Amino acid sequence: MAGQKTEAKSAPANGVPLFKSKVTDLDLKLDNEIVYEFGGPIGVVGMMLGFPSLMYYFWVCLEYHQGKLIVPAVFSMDGIKAFFWNDIWAAIAKDACPTWYAAKIYLGYIFISVILAYTMPGPVVEGLPIPSLQGKRLKYLCNGIAAWYFLLVLSAVLHVTGIFRLTEIIDNFGHIMTIAIMWGFFLTTSVYVMSTILGTNHRMSGNFFYDYFMGACLNPRVGILDLKMWAEIRVPWPILFYISLSCALKQYETRGYVTGPAAFMVLAHFLYVNACQKGEECIPTSWDIFYEKDGFMLIFWNMAGVPFTYCYASIYLMKFEQTTGIAITHSWAFTVFLFTALLAAYYIFDTGNSQKNRFRMEQNGSFIVRNTFPQLPYGHIKNPSYIKTAHGNLLLTDGWWGVVRKPHYTADLVMAISWGLITGFGSFLPYFYFCFFLCVLTHRVTRDMERCAKKYGKDWDRYCERVPYIFVPYVF
Ligand code: NDP
3-class DSSP state of 462 = helix
448 CB under 6 A from ligand 1? yes
Residue 162 CA, ligand 1 centroid: distance in Å: 42
Rounded Cα distance, 405 and 419, in Å: 24
Q: Mean pLDDT, to the nearest integer, of 297-304?
A: 98
443 CB under 6 A from ligand 1? no
Please write the tens of the pLDDT for every residue from 202-234: 999 999 999 999 999 999 999 999 999 999 999
Rounded Cα distance, 125 and 67, in Å: 44
Please write the tens of the pLDDT for every residue from 38-59: 999 999 999 999 999 999 999 9
289 CB under 6 A from ligand 1? no
DSSP letter for each residue of 21-76? ----HHHHHHHH-----TTHHHHHHHHHHHHHHHHHHHHHHHHHSTT---EEGGG-
Nearest to 1 by CA among 139, 131, 138: 131
Please write the tens of the pLDDT for every residue from 347-358: 999 999 999 989
Q: State residue 30's pLDDT score.
A: 86
Q: State residue 6's pLDDT score.
A: 35
Rounded Cα distance, 184 and 362, in Å: 36
Rounded Cα distance, 90 and 56, in Å: 12
Atom of ligand 1 nearest to the CA of 455: 46
288 CB under 6 A from ligand 1? yes
> What is the pLDDT of the chain when averaged over all its residues?
93
246 CB under 6 A from ligand 1? no
Q: Mean pLDDT, to the nearest integer, of 119-134?
A: 91
Q: Greater confidence, 361 or 185? A: 185
Q: Which residue out of 287, 410, 447 has the highest number of ligand 1 atoms within 8 Å of its CB and is therefore the one to mutate?
A: 287
172 CB under 6 A from ligand 1? no
Q: Which residue out of 23, 393, 412 has the highest number of ligand 1 atoms within 8 Å of its CB and is therefore the one to mutate?
A: 412
286 CB under 6 A from ligand 1? yes
Atom of ligand 1 nearest to the CA of 401: 18
> What pLDDT band is residue 139 in, cutting at 50, 70 and 90?
very high
452 CB under 6 A from ligand 1? yes
Q: How far apart are the first and last CA of the chain?
A: 40
What 374-380 contacts at long range (C-beta under 8 Å, 24+ apart), as own/partner pairs, is 374/278, 374/350, 376/347, 376/350, 376/351, 377/351, 378/351, 379/350, 379/351, 379/354, 379/355, 380/354, 380/355
Q: Is the pLDDT of residue 63 over 90?
A: yes
| Ligand 1 atom 43, closest CA | 441
Residue 475: φ, ψ to 5°: -120, -60
408 CB under 6 A from ligand 1? yes
Q: State residue 11's pLDDT score.
A: 44
Atom of ligand 1 nearest to the CA of 290: 47
Nearest to 178 by CA among 65, 72, 100, 269: 100
393 CB under 6 A from ligand 1? yes
409 CB under 6 A from ligand 1? yes
Nearest to 244 by CA among 180, 313, 309, 329: 313
Rounded Cα distance, 107 and 288, in Å: 25
Residue 287 CA, ligand 1 centroid: distance in Å: 6
Give the Cβ contact number of residue 257 at 10 Å: 10
Rounded Cα distance, 400 and 356, in Å: 9
63 CB under 6 A from ligand 1? no
Q: Mean pLDDT, to the nearest integer, of 68-97?
A: 84
What is the bridge-based pairing of β-strands 136-141 and 124-130? antiparallel
Contacts of 77 (CB under 8 A, 6+ apart): 71
Please write the tens of the pLDDT for every residue from 84-113: 788 889 999 999 999 999 999 999 999 999
Rounded Cα distance, 179 and 304, in Å: 9
168 CB under 6 A from ligand 1? no
What is the bridge-based pairing of β-strands 394-396 and 82-83? unpaired
356 CB under 6 A from ligand 1? yes
Q: Is the pTM of this model over 0.85?
A: yes
Residue 155 CA, ligand 1 centroid: distance in Å: 32
287 CB under 6 A from ligand 1? yes
Element (H, E) at 340: helix 332-364
Q: Is the pLDDT of residue 251 over 70?
A: yes
